[in-house]
């Protein structure tokens, strides 16, 4: 399998069958060699830099009813909240003082957050922090909405496509949601000038290696600046509560493959990548990732923004928490950068 990895390292691509072979190979030797090569590629372009993003979870209200999600509209156990404008600005102020130079506003598709309201917050953040990047992750919106947000000063937008398989997409979403519209939104974001992020879940029920290859091919077509993937984790109050979660080991292999295929992409490492032997964030960094997103939301909000079971709620928004995170990153051989951390241009 090392020959296939070397081929991917040298050419940046493989045939569908070769990709499937690499995806399905569960040997430790393959995983270790893939991580080694991915780390080499990441260091070639970004050195040992790790970019921190301050995550602000602004609302747990959502109009959608995605079958796997803990804040889906029909989930009666979900605790709902909204951060107001001042709370969001306060979170950013805390993050800035802790050295963060990107803020990520993420939330459910909540009608309360109109274009006017969101753009007002973006404008104030841009005025207060001209040296920072503003990232949004607020779901599917109109092309006009995206244009207004970009004009207000937002830089990046994250919208995972979740799966590029029409059949699989329909099995995990309500009928009113379509993969075609999700893809349309992603291309609208790119056309608007956003640094655009896409990505998919690993280990969705019924997912095959062919589906994962389809995800990778879609990413090659879209050419996003950011790619976020993570293991599917079931929530106890959704129709998927009894399903097995996605494998962190497979997710790590896929991160290595993605780094080799997208050498300059921004690639986040999450706590959900944790294995029996290693912290998830560090395991991700060792497999080509270069972004970590500490949560700077208020503690009460972090507990209520419960997309999946066993979500880590840590004190990473505190000065002590950020210091510990930086020490952990540096102990693994990487350096936390004080830059905005934009995607390198081709």
Map out the domains of the chain as residue ranges. 2-337
What is the rounded CA–CA span in Å between residue 231 and residue 247?
Answer: 6
Beta strands 230-231; 102-107: pairing state: unpaired
CA 134 from centre of chain: 15
The pLDDT of residue 317: 53
- Whose CA is closest to 174, among 249, 106, 74? 74
> What count of other Cβ atoms lies within 10 Å of the Cβ of residue 177?
16
Give the residue carrying structure tokens 């990709």: 19
The pLDDT of residue 316: 52
- Whose CA is closest to 122, among 83, 159, 85, 97? 85
Taking a C-beta distance cutoff of 8 angstroms, is the pair 142, 172 a contact?
no
What is the rounded CA–CA span in Å between residue 313 and residue 320?
Answer: 15
Give pTM, 2 decimals.
0.95
The pLDDT of residue 164: 98
The pLDDT of residue 244: 86
- Whose CA is closest to 338, among 172, 183, 133, 134? 133
Taking a C-beta distance cutoff of 8 angstroms, is the pair 23, 212 a contact?
yes
> What count of other Cβ atoms lies within 10 Å of the Cβ of residue 50?
24
Give the residue carrying structure tokens 């590029």: 164
Q: Which CATH architecture has domain 2-337?
A: Alpha-Beta Barrel (3.20)
The pLDDT of residue 279: 87
The pLDDT of residue 255: 97
Work out whether the CA dihedral 253, 232, 140, 270 comes out positive or negative: negative
What is the rounded CA–CA span in Å between residue 75 and residue 237?
Answer: 7
Taking a C-beta distance cutoff of 8 angstroms, is the pair 282, 252 a contact?
no
| Residue 295 DSSP one-character state | B
Mean pLDDT (10-residue bins), the chain, 346 residues? 96 98 96 97 97 96 93 90 97 95 97 98 98 98 98 98 97 96 98 98 96 98 97 86 88 97 96 74 95 91 70 57 90 95 86
Beta strands 54-59; 102-107: pairing state: parallel
């Amino acid at each position: 399998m090392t020959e296939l990895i070397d081929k991917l390292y040298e050419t940046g691509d493989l045939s569908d069958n070769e990709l499937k072979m690499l995806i399905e190979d569960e040997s430790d030797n393959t995983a270790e060699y893939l991580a080694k090569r991915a780390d080499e590629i990441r260091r070639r372009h970004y050195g040992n830099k790790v970019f921190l993003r301050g995550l602000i979870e602004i609302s747990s209200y959502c109009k959608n009813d995605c079958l796997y999600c803990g804040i889906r509209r029909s989930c009666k156990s979900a605790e709902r909240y909204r951060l107001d404008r001042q709370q969001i600005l306060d979170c950013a102020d805390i993050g800035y003082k802790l050295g963060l130079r990107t803020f990520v506003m993420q939330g459910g598709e909540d009608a309360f957050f109109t274009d006017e309201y969101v753009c007002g917050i973006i404008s104030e953040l841009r005025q207060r922090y001209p040296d920072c990047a503003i990232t949004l992750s607020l779901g599917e919106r109109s092309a006009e909405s995206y244009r207004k947000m970009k004009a207000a000063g937002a830089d990046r937008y994250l919208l995972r496509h979740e799966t590029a398989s029409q059949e699989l997409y329909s099995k995990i979403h309500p009928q009113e949601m379509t993969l075609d519209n999700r893809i349309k939104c992603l291309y609208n974001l790119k056309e608007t000038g956003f640094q655009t992020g896409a990505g998919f879940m690993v280990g969705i029920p019924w997912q095959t290696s062919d589906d994962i290859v389809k995800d990778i091919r879609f990413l090659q077509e879209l050419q996003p600046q950011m790619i976020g993937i993570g293991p599917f984790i079931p929530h106890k109050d959704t129709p998927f509560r009894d399903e097995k979660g996605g494998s962190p080991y497979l997710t790590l292999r896929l991160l290595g493959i993605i780094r080799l295929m997208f050498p300059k992409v921004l690639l986040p490492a999450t706590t959900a990548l944790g294995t029996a032997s290693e912290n998830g964030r560090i395991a991700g960094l060792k497999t080509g990732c270069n972004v970590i997103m500490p949560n700077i939301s208020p503690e009460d909000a972090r507990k209520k923004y419960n997309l999946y079971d066993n979500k880590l709620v840590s004190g990473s928004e505190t000065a002590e928490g950020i210091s510990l995170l930086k020490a952990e990153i540096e102990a693994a051989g990487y350096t936390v950068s004080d830059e905005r951390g934009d995607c390198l241009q081709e």
